[in-house]
Structure 1
Amino acid sequence: MSASSDQSRFSNLHAQAEILDREDHLRHLRAEFRIPTKADIKRTTLEKLEKPQQEQEQQQDRNDAASADETTPCTYLCGNSLGLQPKRTATRINQYLQTWSTQAVQGHFKPLDDSPLPTWLDADARAAKLMAPIVGADESEVAVMQTLTANLHLLMSAFYRPDPKGKHKIILESKAFPSDHFAVLSQIRHHGLSPSTSMVTVESPYSEDALITTYDIQSIISKHASDTALILLPGVQYYTGQLLDIPTITAFAHKHDIFIIWDLAHAVGNVPLHLHDWDVDAAAWCTYKYLNGGPGCIGGMFINSRNSLVNTTITDEEPERGYGKRLSGWWGNDKATRFQMETKFHPVKGAAGFQLSNPSILDITSLSASLEIFELAGGVSPLREKSKRLTAFLEQCLSLLSEDAKQLFRIITPSDPDQRGAQLSLLLADSILDQVMKELEARSVIVDERRPNVIRVAPAPLYNSFEDCVAFAEAFELALVATQKDF
């Protein structure tokens, strides 16, 4: 393919992206985020260092290019791993710090007239209120607490009650995120059982790309229904980007009297969820991917209201008779009596009653800043519509790469837009992953890798543009071609 045809291909894509971005009704949300510049990506310090006068003079001829790098955003397509920082995050955190510095312990209970932040006592409740519409739940069914794997352990400690002579197995996918495997293995061993007999994995006998169909999952459930106590599955599979049919699989699990927990780490904020209407038993998620809460930010949990009932006949003598089995902690205790320092546990009604320690207000403040932007967007549904268009356009851009480039990768994410989230996973030819990633980074394109040979490209609708998709395709083609120069 000639250089002129290469230029024509990408010129046409740039023109198409410009039109699509101009017509995008959510384009204003991009301005809500801090997108690293090309210069930021290359920097090895927190701040731009002032250069000595002599060096400044020597670099005068390169000023134009350097200036462009200082202002031109990088191409960031890694929201499936870590979302970008909302601009309002710093504002909200500064308001929290001001509260702490001026009010100290009073910040727990004392609202401030000129602050939009809730008291620290109520911060988790406000975060749950903001989170509930994103996961399609009643506010009482959501708790913002702990972190993803900790929440999975808490859910399993409450709802995995194996009977070695009856139901004791846990079903999960064979390529589940490692922490899910670790949690399941340790829970099984905690109950004195063996993973060799109590853990069942789902995989497709027909797919070479780790895709699993609803039929594959239903077949495993049917085969092991008589002795399965729990199912743990992802809403969106982290490696392939495949979106599972949550309502159908949930209903099938219930048909066989099996409790099912969903790991929604890659689904929350990415695809519309209706956990209450789908009658999901329980779910857990992190908040630093599509929810942009910040690295390692506080997690979330959904517990169906029927699984968190608190009997109104709780008595001081035997309070544990009034609620289901769960681990109990200070912050799960009824807010009305929490500070009376009684040693009888009266759980808050709903998912909040599963909380343990008081939550990090710093984390909740950071998360809530991003959740405010979801409100500005009108919820997940309009974001999902843009996401489908973005991902489809990215797929189109990749289909127009040179034939030489296309020989070196293939897309393993489902082509059906309804079976994927905001992600395309690209399986590379053997032994070129490291060089491709190096070439992309040199062009200020940020994606992530999953060894041995997959890169994941995720255009997040809150801040990514159609132009970002073209920029990636151009850089990716150059990166692929560069890997062949030594052969």
Structure 2
Amino acid sequence: MGSRLHFQRIKEGPPLPHHDDIRAYKREYAEALDERDPLKSYRDQFIIPSKKDLLRKRLADTEGLQPKNLRKYLDQYLRSWAIKGVIGHFVSHEDALLPPYLHVDDAGSELLAPIVGASPSEYAVESQIRLHNFDPAISMALIEPEDAEKPILSTEQILKVIDDNASDTALIFLPGIQFYTGQYFDIKIITAHAHSKGILIGWDCAHAVGN
């Protein structure tokens, strides 16, 4: 089920108490949403630590909770590695539950592509600069905060850097949000400005989608 349909089903249910005021932030309201959530059964598929002072935020932001069936899949890969060695990159063992190593992320690409509005075949890597015989040290312009005490990149600063480098810039690559500060960039304005200079621009929306 896609995220859009998931949230739509929550919204289309009968109004919950206090859904339109500050009481919506109460535990009871959150529990009511959880009870209505059509994905709530997925909770049973993960191992949830019982430690009382567990940092739940870190579980969400980093590797997350461990799926209960993870060990089974990892053991299959270890078995393929032991039996087939490097050939396991291309050929799965007969009873393997997952594809060969080389294609292990294909399923994830297929699932994420429609969320970010991309094709599974679309990707970008920093090594492209060296591939085309350029030195990243001199061929890549980095945008740094003007004030170290306030690590924010204003839209105006970004537009100025684009203007200053427009004559010899082939591609701009920025994140949708800055991971450490949570700053959300004005994608629409920055993209339009780059296009007005004849420059292609790409956005890394991994954290923008997940957070």
TM > 0.5? yes
Partner amino acid, structure 2, of 1:89: L
**Counterpart in the other structure of 1:466:** none
Cα 1:248–1:80, aligned 2, differ >3 Å: closer, same or farther? farther
**Counterpart in the other structure of 1:95:** 76
Say if 2:65 is the partner of 1:84: yes
1:255 to 171, 189, 196: 196
Q: Deviations over 1:329-368 (max 9, x none)?
A: xxxxxxxxxxxxxxxxxxxxxxxxxxxxxxxxxxxxxxxx
1:231 to 158, 161, 172: 172
Cα 1:225–1:121, aligned 2, differ >3 Å: closer, same or farther? closer
Partner amino acid, structure 1, of 2:137: I
Q: Which has the higher contact order (CA 8 A, sep 6+)?
A: 1
Q: What is the alpha-carbon distance in structure 2 between the residues aligned to residue 219 and residue 108 of structure 1? A: 46
1:38 match: secondary structure? coil
Once the two structures are TM-superposed, the CA of residue 77 in structure 1 deviates from its matched residue by: 0.7
Say if 2:137 is the partner of 1:188: yes
What are the equivalent positions in structure 2 for 1:73-152 lying under 5 Å apart? 74-78=54-58, 79-104=60-85, 107-112=88-93, 114-123=95-104, 125-142=106-123, 151-152=125-126
Query: Is the Cα contact below 8 Å between 1:128 and 1:142 reproduced in 2?
Result: no
Cα 1:25–1:124, aligned 2, differ >3 Å: closer, same or farther? closer
Query: Is the Cα contact below 8 Å between 1:108 and 1:121 reproduced in 2?
Result: yes
Query: Is the Cα contact below 8 Å between 1:233 and 1:261 reproduced in 2?
Result: yes
Q: What is the alpha-carbon distance in structure 1 between the residues aligned to residue 78 and residue 178 of structure 2? A: 37
1:141 match: secondary structure? coil
Query: Is the Cα contact below 8 Å between 1:202 and 1:217 reproduced in 2?
Result: no
Q: What is the alpha-carbon distance in structure 1 between the residues aligned to residue 87 and residue 146 of structure 2? A: 56
Q: What is the alpha-carbon distance in structure 2 between the residues aligned to residue 82 and residue 209 of structure 1? A: 29
What are the equivalent positions in structure 2 for 1:310-325 lying under 5 Å apart? none
Larger Rg: 1
Q: Deviations over 1:240-267 (max 9, x none)?
A: 2122233542342132133435444523
> If the length of structure 1 is used for normalisation, what is the TM-score?
0.32
Q: What is the alpha-carbon distance in structure 1 between the residues aligned to residue 119 and residue 173 of structure 2? A: 22
Once the two structures are TM-superposed, the CA of residue 32 in structure 1 deviates from its matched residue by: 2.9
What is the number of equivalent residue pairs in this alignment? 187
Once the two structures are TM-superposed, the CA of residue 94 in structure 1 deviates from its matched residue by: 1.4
Cα 1:26–1:260, aligned 2, differ >3 Å: closer, same or farther? same
Once the two structures are TM-superposed, the CA of residue 237 in structure 1 deviates from its matched residue by: 0.9
Cα 1:110–1:159, aligned 2, differ >3 Å: closer, same or farther? closer
Partner amino acid, structure 2, of 1:238: F
Query: Is the Cα contact below 8 Å between 1:131 and 1:142 reproduced in 2?
Result: no
Cα 1:204–1:19, aligned 2, differ >3 Å: closer, same or farther? farther
1:260 match: secondary structure? strand
Any gaps of 5 or more consecutive residues in structure 1? 1-8, 42-73, 144-150, 162-185, 192-197, 271-421, 423-487
Cα 1:157–1:83, aligned 2, differ >3 Å: closer, same or farther? farther
**Counterpart in the other structure of 2:12:** none
Partner amino acid, structure 2, of 1:97: L
Partner amino acid, structure 2, of 1:117: L
Query: Is the Cα contact below 8 Å between 1:159 and 1:259 reproduced in 2?
Result: no
Q: What is the alpha-carbon distance in structure 2 between the residues aligned to residue 263 and residue 19 of structure 1? A: 34
Cα 1:248–1:22, aligned 2, differ >3 Å: closer, same or farther? same
Q: What is the alpha-carbon distance in structure 2 between the residues aligned to residue 111 and residue 201 of structure 1? A: 44
Partner amino acid, structure 1, of 2:181: T
Once the two structures are TM-superposed, the CA of residue 76 in structure 1 deviates from its matched residue by: 0.7
Q: Deviations over 1:441-473 (max 9, x none)?
A: xxxxxxxxxxxxxxxxxxxxxxxxxxxxxxxxx
1:156 to 124, 129, 137: 129
2:118 match: secondary structure? coil
2:185 to 244, 249, 274: 244
Query: Is the Cα contact below 8 Å between 2:84 and 2:93 reproduced in 1?
Result: no
> If the length of structure 2 is used for normalisation, what is the TM-score?
0.63
Q: What is the alpha-carbon distance in structure 1 between the residues aligned to residue 137 and residue 86 of structure 2? A: 42
